[in-house]
Amino acid sequence: MTWFRYEPGEVGPDPHVHRQHTDAFYVLTGELEFSLGPEQQTVAAPAGAFAAAPPNVVHTFRNASQATATFLNVHAPSLGFGDEIRGRKNPGFDQHEPPADGGRPFADAALALPGGGELIQHETSTLRIVGDLPQLSAIDMTFLPTFEGVDAHTHADHVDAFYVLEGEVEFLVGDEPRRAGPDTFVAAPPGSVHGFRNPGPAPVRFLNLHAPETGFVDRLRARA
């Protein structure tokens, strides 16, 4: 997970693909412009939008607006992207020129504009599935103070991560409860104990990521 700030007119990398991992984005403030697929179809993505390019989907992005944009960027699996950002370039990093055939179609990308996605409504929660790809799922979750919380648990085969968007969430990290407000990132790697609840008095909202996706989204659908 990387947090970025792009100033007006700032451009991202040239169009490219990743062959082994998914490159995903969540716009926090401002607006980005994504170009996706063989024909570089362009989409304006304001705050609250999610976009993801799975392997072999050509993509790039820029801030074409007149305002600063901030956004999250997730590489799943990372494959060393953190070192790329730190300046420790690896010539073997999984980033390549667009393939001669144009790569996978635009429809294979994940794209959800604000308020979009697959809605799952419960009495004490509102869930929007904004990305459901084999290497990464993303759910925009809102919980009322009356939500009973999620008890301590572990996952053996994936990372469970959270980025707080609104309100204050109480996370259980190991055996210690910690309160976290907006712009806090919490990641539970495989085998680590975690849970969460809304301590009140207002709703809480966060982006929940599972990497890789191992059936969590289908479990949410089954409970709808």
Alpha carbons within 13 angstroms on the beta-carbon side of residue 106 total 10
pLDDT at 175: 82
Predicted local confidence at residue 14, as pLDDT: 97
Residue 57: how many CB atoms within 10 A of its CB?
23
pLDDT for res 173: 87
Complete edge-to-edge strand list for the sheet that includes strand 150-153: 150-153, 194-197, 169-173, 176-180
Q: In this predicted structure, what is the pLDDT of residue 19?
A: 98
Q: Which residues pair with 139 in a beta bridge?
A: 129, 208
For residue range 45-103, list pLDDT tens digits in order. 999 999 999 999 999 999 999 999 999 999 999 999 999 999 998 889 999 999 999 99
Contacts of 208 (CB under 8 A, 6+ apart): 138, 139, 140, 141, 160, 161, 162
| Phi/psi at 49 (5° precision) | -85, 150
Whole-angstrom distance, CA of residue 219 vs CA of residue 138: 14
The predicted pLDDT at position 37 comes to: 98
pTM over 0.85: yes
Q: Identify the CA nearest to 143 among candidates 206, 92, 88.
A: 206
CA dihedral 207, 212, 214, 220 (to 10 degrees): 10
124-147 CB burial, b ≥16 within 10 A, e <16: ebebbbbbbbebbbbbbbbbeeeb
Low-confidence ranges of the chain (pLDDT < 70): none
